[in-house]
Structure 1
Amino acid sequence: MLQRIVIFAGGALGDWSLGLVRESDTLIGADSGARFLLQNGLAPDVAIGDFDSVSEEEMALIREKSGRTIACDPIDKDYTDTEMAFRLALDMKPSELLLIGALGTRFDHSLANVHLLALADAFGIPAQIIDAHNRIRLISRTCVLERVDHPQVSLLPLSEQVTGITLSGFQYPLNNATLTIGQSIGISNVLLAESGTIRLKEGRLLVIQSRD
């Protein structure tokens, strides 16, 4: 089992993302995410996508510098570049998966990428989407949450409802509560200590740590 895989997709990226990379990480660049890695001195172990967002010169560099390049037709494909990268990463069975550059100006792509967390949950692989202001994960079982530097914690159901939600270590506690899609009662909670615990009985719950 690999220690951790970090995927760089083609959404919002910046210097903040480079500090998330560890030397032991396996790096996957999805489309222009591969270009971003190379521009910042990091060679992707795998570059994957249709590469319609890079020039011919950039594509040649990606092929030269990446450990492996998987290119596909931009029209005749079933998945987005990010989903292709995500599914490839799951097949590699990492201990953890980070998805960076998954959020951006295209809300449809951003929402589809959040839904990818359900795939990782089905495989039992811890996964997070991270950008400059948010850390997003999906849970279907007990989760211990570290405070890090994102003070707000919001809970939103991804399934129609999530039952048996119990929080410990939070400013606003819940005890065996049910959250249904369309409710905002789970928005902007706060951890009181360095960590808190979220328990649930059934359903899939998005846990979003954020900062302004």
Structure 2
Amino acid sequence: MKTNFFGKVFSVDGSYNYLRNFNASIDSIIGDFDSFPKQLKYPRNSNIYKVVEQENTDFDKALNILHQKGFKNVNVWGGSGKEQDHFLGNLSTALKYKNKLSIIFYDKYHLYFFSKKKNTFFIGKNKKVSLFPFPKITGLKTIGLSYPVDNESFEIGKKIGIRNISCEKKIHINYEKGEMLIFIERKCFPL
């Protein structure tokens, strides 16, 4: 009997071939199917959600369907698409859904997400933590980091908070206004 640790696995059409190479059990495929390998047939046991409009990316289409179906937590693997413009586009889309879904991105080195205004994490000591304004935050305060921040503003092109280190097992990161991405070193989580 095969169990699925992740609950449901959704794939956008462009990542289907990649996931298929890992023998992943894919519950649903979403997209306009312009990136779906032409030589492949749709898998028998997967739901197919074909959305042909071109105003939104396949990632946006997928998040919209997940939200409509009542999902609350979304773990995104391969969100960079190995291309930086794709990565920034996915971040922009995630920000659009920030208040509807809890979205956490995973890559080889980090997990990252748009944060709430008040955050508490239990990650252990000596883990890299980066605080990246998107594009600006004010009233930032941290507790439990080697380089504490007390009521400061961060802004792209001026001051950002990358490569800080946790010095406590429990860290607090709070801010008053704006949007911020938090990157946490992945080796602290057994994934």
Both structures adopt the same fold (TM-score exceeding 0.5): yes
Q: Which residue of 1 aligns with 2:181?
A: 206
Residues 1:136 and 1:24: Cα distance change in structure 2 (over 3 Å): closer
Q: Which residue of 2 aligns with 1:192?
A: 167
1:94 aligns with one of 71, 87, 105: 71
Residues 1:189 and 1:119: Cα distance change in structure 2 (over 3 Å): same
Q: Which residue of 2 aligns with 1:175?
A: 150
Q: Report which stretch shifted further, 85-94 or 132-141.
A: 85-94
Asked if residue 134 in structure 1 is aligned to residue 113 in structure 2, the reply is: no
Asked if residue 162 in structure 1 is aligned to residue 137 in structure 2, the reply is: yes
Distance in 2, Cα, partners of 1:72 & 1:165: 40
Please, what TM-score do these two structures have when normalized by structure 2? 0.84
Contact 2:124 2:166 in 1 (8 A): no
| SS at 2:9 equivalent | strand
Contact 1:30 1:49 in 2 (8 A): yes
Please, what TM-score do these two structures have when normalized by structure 1? 0.76
Q: Which residue of 2 aligns with 1:71?
A: 50
Q: 1:34 deviation in Å? A: 2.6
Q: 1:150 deviation in Å? A: 8.9
Q: 1:69 deviation in Å? A: 0.2
Alignment size in residue pairs? 185
Distance in 1, Cα, partners of 2:165 & 2:69: 35
1:55 aligns with one of 33, 37, 42: 37
Contact 2:126 2:167 in 1 (8 A): no
Distance in 2, Cα, partners of 1:80 & 1:107: 15
Asked if residue 113 in structure 1 is aligned to residue 95 in structure 2, the reply is: no
| SS at 1:206 equivalent | strand
Distance in 2, Cα, partners of 1:150 & 1:46: 39
Q: 1:105 deviation in Å? A: 3.2
Identity of aligned residues (%): 22
| SS at 1:114 equivalent | helix
Q: Which residue of 2 aligns with 1:28?
A: 10
Task: Give the counterpart letter for 2:34 in structure 1.
Answer: D
Distance in 1, Cα, partners of 2:69 & 2:109: 28
Q: Deviations over 1:135-178 (max 9, x none)?
A: 1111131112342799221111114x211111011111111111
2:22 aligns with one of 40, 46, 67: 40
Distance in 1, Cα, partners of 2:81 & 2:126: 19
Contact 1:140 1:202 in 2 (8 A): no
Q: Report which stretch shifted further, 23-32 or 108-117.
A: 23-32
Q: Report which stretch shifted further, 127-136 or 177-186.
A: 177-186
Distance in 1, Cα, partners of 2:90 & 2:122: 23
Q: 1:22 deviation in Å? A: 5.0
Q: Which runs of 5+ in 2 are unaligned?
A: none
Residues 1:42 and 1:149: Cα distance change in structure 2 (over 3 Å): farther
Contact 1:114 1:129 in 2 (8 A): no
Distance in 2, Cα, partners of 1:211 & 1:27: 21
